Amino acid sequence: MYFKGRFPVNQFLGRAYLCQGQLHAPHSTDNLEEFERFVKFFMKAIDFATHDRRYSFLIYNASVLYWQHVRPFLKPGFRYCLIPSLSQIVTALNQIEEQDNEWRAELMINLLECFLDASRLEEAKEFSSTAAVFIKENVPEKYSQIFSLMVMHIFFHCTTLSVFFFCPPPNHCISKVYICITYFSNIRIKRTNIQHSRGVIIMKQSSQGKLEIAFVFFRGIIEQSCLTMFLKRRMK
């Protein structure tokens, strides 16, 4: 009824979009058309709010409601459906510099999972580098989550791997590194080697035989500069 008459262009328009979207909230993954209607109205609310700083709170509200309703899609094989809408939400929260960094980090980690589930590896690689920096600086207690996701992705998709250790990883990451290495590759490394090592460099060989750097772990940070120095020493 609200949209049939002349309505004021204020916060209540954004709220109306959210209400309309919730009428189409998905209860399962069976009806993608209903899910798309749900997303359409939520994205309208977010787009409306991004054009006026007074309504920034609607973006946060929309992100929370969105996350409550997309639970059915948070399983393998369906996460890809969330990529367009979740990407827009993460971008909108970044634009308004939302102060709830923990919430932003949670959505970033889940968006990375969506990229990986959809095998959109280049986008996952690009997004993870930005997300990792944000999480490391603002929500360090969640860094181990995105770290483990990136490492698992590397071992799952690589063919020939080489692993080098050079600087001790934090204790809370040791088990994750160990599990990823022993489970996702043919490389068998003793847990003590990780505990007493000085870090992790993982390299893969592509199908064309080209050596590519997949990941560098250095005191909890992805360090490109350390990797460059390491390679120069090895190539001499």
Higher pLDDT, residue 4 or 135: 135
- Per-residue pLDDT, averaged over 210-224, amounts to 41
Q: Which long-range contacts (CB under 8 A, 24 or more apart) does 188-191 make?
A: 189/163
Contact status, residue 58 vs residue 14, Cβ threshold 8 Å:
yes
- Mean pLDDT, the chain, whole residue set: 72
pLDDT band at 216; cut points 50, 70, 90 = very low
DSSP states of 104-124 as a string? HHHHHHHHHHHHHHTT-HHHH
For the chain, give the percent of residues with pLDDT over 90. Answer: 41
Q: Which domains does the chain have, with CATH numbers?
A: 2-142 (1.25.40), 148-235 (no CATH)
| pLDDT reading at 90 higher than 90 | yes
Residue 143 above 90 pLDDT?
A: no
Number of C-beta neighbours around residue 186 at 10 A: 8
Cβ burial of 97 (10 Å; 0-12, 13-18, 19+) is: exposed
The listed range with the strongest mean pLDDT (8-17, 45-54, 167-176, 191-200) is 45-54
Could you tell me which residues are beta bridge partners of residue 221?
Answer: 218
pLDDT exceeds cutoff 60 at 64:
yes
Q: How far is CA 193 from the centre of its chain?
A: 29
| pLDDT tens per residue across span 18-49 | 999 999 999 999 989 999 999 999 999 999 99
Per the listing, tokens 């483990």 go with 148
The residue-averaged pLDDT of 53-73 equals: 95
What is the band of 11 on the pLDDT scale with cuts at 50, 70, 90?
Answer: confident
Assess whether pLDDT exceeds 50 at residue 161.
no
Report whether pLDDT(79) > 90: yes
Q: For 98-133, how does the pLDDT look when each residue is reduced to its tens digit (9 = 90+)?
A: 999 999 999 999 999 999 889 888 888 888 888 988
- Cα dist from 198 to 16, 105, 177, 183, whole Å: 55, 27, 13, 21
Q: What are phi and psi of 17, to 5 degrees?
A: -60, -45
Give the 3-state secondary structure of residue 71: helix
Amino acid identity of residue 26, one-letter, is P
| Beta carbons of 189 and 182 less than 8 angstroms apart | yes
